[in-house]
Amino acid sequence: MNHEPGARPFFPPEVVMQVKALACELPHEHKLPLSRFSRQDLAAEVIKRGITAQISGSTIWRWLDEDAIRPWQHRSWIFPRDPEFEQKAGRVLDLYQGCWEDQPLGSDDYVISADEKTSIQARVRVHSTQPPEPGQSMRVEFEYDRRGALAYLAGWDVRRAKVFGCCEPTSGIAGFEHLVRVVMVQEPYRSDKRVLWIVDNGSSHRGQAACQRLQNNYPNTVMIHLPVHASWLNQVEIYFSVVQRKVLTPNDFSSLSAVAERLLSFQSYYEQIAKPFEWKFTRVELRKLVAKFEKQQSSTALAA
């Protein structure tokens, strides 16, 4: 290790590898009373184990950042339980790549990714929101009165970067059919060859009955269901994340009608700058993910 003043300490590659390996393990597996590691926790554990005599949290952060390892973060997820997960997900990924049933999509084929964002509240702040000023960010009163909630249903044209939407008192079959009608009464969707609707398994559009309802009303449509608990494969969720950041945060609306007006106005605003999402998760990545799931299931079965 280099001890010259101002010099960055040198650590052998073996030390770096051991630290990264430790960061990829769960603390309780080493009988530590922690739910996740921080940089300081890792530094203390590395010194305690004798991996190195001295190390800083910033050094550990730099090493982990090289491989995007962030043990201090976590997110919730649901393990895929759909027995046809790979098959159903693969069909949707093919559509994102411009293919359906092993044939390229034509210029008269359209792909609509649709879902609903439920329980959007209108929160009236007890004191008015203060705009930003030099040295001070926007200030939003913590206390608020609730003025009800609504559901925002949206359809994202995957290939044309066009948004359709409607606001309903609640989600349900009637609300979803309203969204479909908003899209399908317009050209070119009404007259062209085929409109493929990607949906999850929510009650508004679940199962074969929903597929049949859609095709009875609009013969040129096809409904494609995602695997159960795989809404992250639905591109409209990316649009909803934009809506959450740009429109609904902070939530400060005088009424539900104000919420609806802002949401529908944002659609027109967003279309002016929108481009098709650059979707990089393909069947190749899907196969790797499924293989990872299969390995985890095998390990769980052996542990049991």
Kindly tell me if the per-residue pLDDT of 297 is higher than 80: no
User: Considering Cα of 210, then 212, then 218, then 223, what sign does the dihedral take?
Assistant: positive
Note the pLDDT of residue 59.
Answer: 95
Residue 80 maps to a domain:
no
Question: What pLDDT is stored for residue 197 in this prediction?
Answer: 98
Percent of the chain with pLDDT strictly greater than 70: 95
Amino acid 299: pLDDT: 67
Mean pLDDT for the stretch of residues 106-134: 94
Domains of the chain: total: 2
- The pLDDT of residue 134 is 94
Do 25 and 103 have their domain in common? no
Do 195 and 245 fall within a single domain? yes
Q: What is the predicted pLDDT for the residue at 296?
A: 76
| Residue 302 in this model has a pLDDT that exceeds 70 | no
C-alpha 1/C-alpha 12 separation (Å) is 9
In-domain check, residue 157: yes
Sheet with strand 194-199: strands edge to edge:
162-168, 144-157, 109-125, 194-199, 221-225
Measure the CA–CA gap between 73 and 87, rounded to whole angstroms. 31
**196 and 160 in one domain?**
yes
Q: If you average pLDDT over residues 192-198, what whole number do you get?
A: 95
Find tokens 């559009």 and name the residue: 205
Whether 105 contacts 99, CB under 8 Å: yes
At 1-46, the pLDDT tens digits run 555 555 567 899 999 999 999 999 999 988 999 999 999 999 999 9
What pLDDT, on a 0 to 100 scale, did the predictor assign at position 7?
A: 56
- pLDDT at 304 (0 to 100): 58
- Of residues 8 and 252, more confidence is placed in 252
CA distances from 36 to 6, 22, 79, 298 (A): 32, 11, 20, 25
- Domain membership flag for residue 225: yes
pLDDT (average), residues 277-284: 94
Please give the average per-residue pLDDT across 42-66, as a whole number.
95
6 or 194: which carries more pLDDT confidence?
Answer: 194
Instruction: State how far the Cα of 265 lies from the Cα of 274, in Å rounded to an integer.
Output: 14
CATH number, position 113: 3.30.420.10
H or E element that contains 47: helix 39-48
Q: Find all residues with CB under 8 Å of 139, minimum gap 6, and list them.
A: 129, 130
Q: Grade residue 112 by pLDDT with cuts at 50, 70 and 90.
A: very high
Residue 220, pLDDT > 80, answer: yes
In contact, 152 and 243? CB cutoff 8 Å: yes
Cα(73)–Cα(20) distance, integer angstroms:
15
Residue 300 has pLDDT above 70, yes or no: no
Ramachandran angles phi, psi of 274, nearest 5°: -75, 145
Q: Give the domain range for residue 181.
A: 85-129+140-271
Whole-number percent of the chain with pLDDT over 90: 86
Q: How high is the pLDDT of residue 8?
A: 65
- Do 159 and 111 lie in one domain? The reply is yes
Taking residue 27's Cβ as centre, other Cβ atoms within 10 Å add up to 17
Residue 128, pLDDT above cutoff 80: yes
Q: How far is CA 64 from CA 28, 58, 71, 265, in A?
A: 20, 10, 9, 43
My answer on whether 157 and 264 are in the same domain is: yes
Return mean pLDDT, the chain: 92
Indicate whether 72 pLDDT > 60: yes
Give domain status of residue 289, yes or no.
no
| Domain co-membership, 61 together with 89 | no
Report the C-alpha gap between 262 and 91 in whole angstroms: 34
**Average pLDDT for residues 281-295, to the nearest whole number?**
90
How many CB atoms sit inside 10 A of residue 143's CB? Answer: 8
Confidence label for 238 from pLDDT (cuts 50, 70 and 90): very high
pLDDT value, residue 293: 83
Residues 106 and 153 in one domain: yes
